[in-house]
Amino acid sequence: MVLSGVIIKGVGGLYTVLADGECYECRARGVFRREHISPTVGDRVKLALEADAYVIDEIEERRSLLIRPPMANLDTLFAIVPTCRPAPDLLSVDKLLCIAEHADISAAVIITKRELDEDAAERAADIYRRVGYSVFPVSAETGDGVDALSRYIDSLGGEDGDGIIVTAFAGASGAGKSTLLNRIYPDLHLGTGALSRKISRGKQTTRHVELYPTAAGSRVYVADTPGFSLLDFERFDFFSCEALPFTFPEFEPYHGKCRYTKCTHVCEDGCAVIKAVNEGIIPRERHNSYRALYAILKDKRPWNK
């Protein structure tokens, strides 16, 4: 008998697969390891019975695969940005959004801990609203903004349809991903961490990716994921610097409008993107991230990926 399901958790070579509403703990066939394919949370898989135990027998072709957070077939990525404590690192947020855009994954932005500084939360929210993302400033402490976010997550399930919708909370360690998930879904009881007092950074409390159901009967699942640390920052899913401008949705209206056809939009005269930045249409913070990411990608070679 063959079962079809989705990997919702994988730790140490042991996978939890949700199939027909039941969870199966299983291992993967050795052939995947030999072929250097890692079964990943979000993978659609087929299970086969082998000597009384189910094993992952087949992994369906992936629509997308992210390295960080390690997830397959994401439908929506929530980029989690703290208002402060730790200070928001917009470059890594923008990098995450670019990777999602490049992989054709829809994205939304959540600004956490807004009660710590409402003005700063609004400023951060404004940047991403101007880009065109759905933005949710929230406080897990006071509950402000949490209902609107919860309704948005519910709405991702649509009216009907089958199969599960895979979403994830991703962002810096200590940004408040697990705390917020607990606030929205009190049954989860996820572990959360205090910030290191000395460096005001998260201490990587969440250690593995796991997908959780959002509500009884809902198709929408949301993953809590381990936060990034500064060390991870250099790792970048590889794509060329030529592809980078197309991962900034707010550059869209300006493609083909620069003086030079090969304009990189970094510093050229007659660049339509830079003009839009100077006119206050494109947020300057975003263009700063663009330039920094462009520099990283330009130096990147396939072999030092």
Ligand X SMILES: Nc1nc2c(ncn2[C@@H]2O[C@H](COP(=O)(O)OP(=O)(O)OP(=O)(O)O)[C@@H](O)[C@H]2O)c(=O)[nH]1
Minimum CB separation of residue 55 from ligand X in Å reads 31
Contact 109, 135 (CB under 8 A): yes
Given candidates 47, 97, 105, 263, which one binds Zn ion under the rule CB under 5 A? 263
- Binding-site partner at residue 271 among ligand X, Mg ion, Zn ion, none, CB < 5 to 8 Å by type: Zn ion
- Binding-site partner at residue 216 among Zn ion, ligand X, Mg ion, none, CB < 5 to 8 Å by type: none
What does the alpha-carbon distance between residue 78 and residue 224 come to, in Å, rounded to a whole number? 10
Minimum CB separation of residue 281 from Mg ion in Å reads 36
What does the alpha-carbon distance between residue 123 and residue 87 come to, in Å, rounded to a whole number? 13
- Binding-site partner at residue 273 among Zn ion, Mg ion, ligand X, none, CB < 5 to 8 Å by type: Zn ion
Q: Is 276 in the site for Zn ion (CB under 5 A)?
A: no
Helix (H) or strand (E) holding 192: none
**Smaller CB separation from Mg ion, 41 or 271:** 41
Query: Any residues with CB less than 8 A from the CB of 182 and at least 6 apart, and which?
Result: 140, 188, 189, 190, 192
Helix (H) or strand (E) holding 58: strand 53-59
What does the alpha-carbon distance between residue 239 and residue 242 come to, in Å, rounded to a whole number? 8
- Binding-site partner at residue 173 among ligand X, Mg ion, Zn ion, none, CB < 5 to 8 Å by type: ligand X
Question: What single-letter DSSP state applies at residue 245?
Answer: G
Extract the tokens encoding 261.
């056809």
Minimum CB separation of residue 269 from Zn ion in Å reads 10
**Smaller CB separation from Zn ion, 211 or 273:** 273
Residues of this chain that interact with ligand X (CB under 6 A) are: 112-113, 115-116, 139-141, 173-179, 192-195, 202, 204-206, 226-227
Given candidates 81, 273, 277, 282, which one binds Zn ion under the rule CB under 5 A? 273
Residue type for 90, please? L
**Smaller CB separation from Mg ion, 19 or 188:** 188
